[in-house]
A and B are shown apart, each in its own frame.
Chain A
Amino acid sequence: MPEPMLVVRDLVVRYGPIEAVHGIDFEVGQGEVVALIGANGAGKTSTLAAISGLIRPARGSIRLGGRELAGAPPHTIFAAGLVQVPEGREILARMSVHENLLLSGAADVRPMYERFPILAERRGLPAGNLSGGEQQLLAIARALLAKPRLLLLDEPSLGLAPKMVATVFAVLAELKLAGTTMLLVEQNALRALRMADRAYVLELGRIGLTGTGAALLRDDGVGRAYLGA
């Protein structure tokens, strides 16, 4: 059996003397959508920061398509095909929508204007003038232009109006249908679990539960902790 697209083994993340992630294992298969859910402070952000190279893991292995990336700088990881849509979008507010798309490194950004006509309408505006939902679409479009092998989405629904959350998840559903491999980190666990093929529940820096999205949706513990059931 071929190795899954992303394989994380024994990942440990430390900030000085404080250990935030205590040796977790998980993987994302080709074409699979995997959700990583958990409360604030469970280690989701630290895990993502380590995967994308923003912080150096203290220990462990991060393999993408068989290539070891633990401790590599962010631009190497990006070039290897691991592209993040960061939390809070991290769009460049003072640069235009068009320039934000060009920053993906793609020579031709027109496909994204066809896919997201609202971005074409706003192409000359500073990205900071866009609504939160439009900024999220811009961040997703920018990441897609980089032709990711694995798309990392960090809290894509955070701070959005309910209608916009539905729009963003509709876009993610289309990407899933098209076979995009995704790792979805979400506080909005209900939506994330409905979308995901499989999910991991992160608790205090350890993987607590794991299973298919549907199974975790039926789990009483997950229901009480994350779904408000």
Chain B
Amino acid sequence: MADQIYNAIFIGSIYALFALGFTLVFSVLDILNLAHPALFTLGAFTALFAMQQGVPAALAVVIAFAVCGGAGVLLDRVAFAPLRRRNAPPLSAMISSIGVSLIVIRLIQLKYGPDLQSYPRGSLPADVMTVAGLQIDTLRTVIIGLAVALMVGLTLLVRRSRLGRELRALAENPRAARLLGIDVDRAIAATFFLSAGLGGIAGALYGFATNSPFSQMGLGFELKAFSVMIVGGMGSIPGAVLGAYLLSFGEVASLTFLPSELRDAFAFGLLFIVLLIRPSGILGQRAVDRV
């Protein structure tokens, strides 16, 4: 039982990191960035590439953050900014982000092929402790700690810092933000850098935990992150974290008590029930605020 809870916390932390980046872009810019799973995959492979050059795992995570952050800024310049300037409808931005996503995945396949990869032997901590009958491996524990620290860090950044205030101003009222002298292009670039960087870290950490990164590893996460964001409350950062853990605990509970075929049906059924009770999500603002 304790094992399962530990597992649920672990996978929930990965979902949360993934969903945070997705939510950040949505809340500030009202864009569904469907290239987020590709950035997640890029993070895992950036770390793999760095570690194959002999870089230690901790530094490889930092490199994955920086590379994916930069890729996110580039993604905005290529896929979203031109559409924004012409006031294209949101669906166009979704399609163009799918396009970029496919290109990134194909480039990864060009270098690494479609098969499962693994990180260099001995480059990841492999020790396992047994505490009160509970199997705790160092790697997952470090990953959980790092994920939680990043969630807290992002929340503080958005709530307390000058950049965070500027992002929230931009999210609430772009016209007012511009009249207040906020450099909107710089704020948008920062949003994409943070969002994609977090996605990249999530990918690297998930790659480490499974030790089998592959080019399609981001696929399952897209639908989950989208659901987590809606259930948590569109655009709410703490909401996305809550939704992520709700989903992971639902999945693990289902695996424990029900046939494994029912995992997704049960977990998404749970999210569906939450929406029936609170249609705007757990921490969602009333619809009037967002319109």
A95 in the interface (beta carbon within 8 A): yes
From 43 to 82 in chain B, residues with beta carbon under 8 angstroms from any chain A beta carbon are: none
Query: Is the CB–CB distance between B172 and A54 below 8 Å?
Result: no
A209 in the interface (beta carbon within 8 A): no
B168 interface neighbour in A54, A95, A104, A146, Cβ under 8 Å:
A95
B172 interface neighbour in A52, A78, A92, A142, Cβ under 8 Å:
A92
B84 in the interface (beta carbon within 8 A): no
The residues of A that contact B176 with a CB separation of less than 8 Å are: 86, 90-92
Interface of B is mostly: helix
Query: Is the CB–CB distance between B289 and A52 below 8 Å?
Result: no
A142 interface neighbour in B168, B178, B180, Cβ under 8 Å:
B180
The residues of A that contact B175 with a CB separation of less than 8 Å are: 54, 86, 90
Known: A92-B168, A95-B168, A103-B165. Contact between A78 and B181, CB under 8 A? yes
B166 in the interface (beta carbon within 8 A): yes
B181 interface neighbour in A54, A75, A93, Cβ under 8 Å:
A75
Query: Is the CB–CB distance between A90 and B173 below 8 Å?
Result: yes
Query: Is the CB–CB distance between B179 and A92 below 8 Å?
Result: no
A84, B175: Cα distance in complex, Å: 12
B146 in the interface (beta carbon within 8 A): no
A146 interface neighbour in B162, B169, B181, Cβ under 8 Å:
B181
B190 in the interface (beta carbon within 8 A): no
Residue among B173, B178, B179, B185 with max Cβ neighbours from chain A (10 Å): B179
Query: Is the CB–CB distance between A95 and B179 below 8 Å?
Result: no
Q: Mark A179-197, 1 if CB is under 8 A from B, else 0.
A: 0000000000000000000
Query: Is the CB–CB distance between A104 and B172 below 8 Å?
Result: no
Query: Is the CB–CB distance between A103 and B180 below 8 Å?
Result: yes
Query: Is the CB–CB distance between B165 and A74 below 8 Å?
Result: no
Of all chain B residues, the one with the shortest Cβ separation from A146 is: B181
B184 in the interface (beta carbon within 8 A): yes
Query: Is the CB–CB distance between B179 and A93 below 8 Å?
Result: no
Known: A90-B175, A94-B289. Contact between A74 and B168, CB under 8 A? no
Query: Is the CB–CB distance between B169 and A95 below 8 Å?
Result: yes
Q: Mark B155-186, 1 if CB is under 8 A from A, else 0.
A: 00000001001101100110110111111110
A79 in the interface (beta carbon within 8 A): yes
The residues of A that contact B183 with a CB separation of less than 8 Å are: 73, 75
Query: Is the CB–CB distance between A94 and B179 below 8 Å?
Result: no
B180 interface neighbour in A53, A78, A93, A94, Cβ under 8 Å:
A78
Known: A94-B289, A103-B166. Contact between A74 and B179, CB under 8 A? yes
The residues of A that contact B169 with a CB separation of less than 8 Å are: 92, 95, 103
Query: Is the CB–CB distance between A54 and B166 below 8 Å?
Result: no
Query: Is the CB–CB distance between B166 and A93 below 8 Å?
Result: no
From 109 to 164 in chain A, residues with beta carbon under 8 angstroms from any chain B beta carbon are: 142, 146
- Shortest A149–chain B CB gap in Å is 13
From 48 to 92 in chain A, residues with beta carbon under 8 angstroms from any chain B beta carbon are: 52-54, 73-75, 78-79, 83-84, 86, 90-92
- Shortest B136–chain A CB gap in Å is 41
Of all chain A residues, the one with the shortest Cβ separation from B289 is: A94
The residues of A that contact B172 with a CB separation of less than 8 Å are: 92-95
The residues of A that contact B179 with a CB separation of less than 8 Å are: 52, 54, 74, 78, 84, 86, 90
B178 interface neighbour in A54, A93, A99, Cβ under 8 Å:
A54
The residues of B that contact A83 with a CB separation of less than 8 Å are: 181
- Shortest B183–chain A CB gap in Å is 4
- Shortest A227–chain B CB gap in Å is 30
From 202 to 223 in chain B, residues with beta carbon under 8 angstroms from any chain A beta carbon are: none
From 178 to 203 in chain B, residues with beta carbon under 8 angstroms from any chain A beta carbon are: 178-185
* Contacts A75-B181, A92-B173, A103-B165 supplied; 15 other A-B pairs, CB < 8 Å: A52-B179, A73-B184, A73-B185, A74-B181, A78-B181, A83-B181, A86-B176, A90-B173, A90-B179, A92-B168, A92-B176, A94-B168, A95-B165, A103-B169, A103-B180
Binding site for A on B (CB under 8 A): 162, 165-166, 168-169, 172-173, 175-176, 178-185, 289
- In the complex, 10 of the A-B residue pairs with CB atoms within 8 angstroms, ordered by the A residue number, are A73-B184, A75-B184, A86-B176, A90-B176, A92-B173, A95-B169, A99-B165, A103-B165, A103-B182, A105-B181
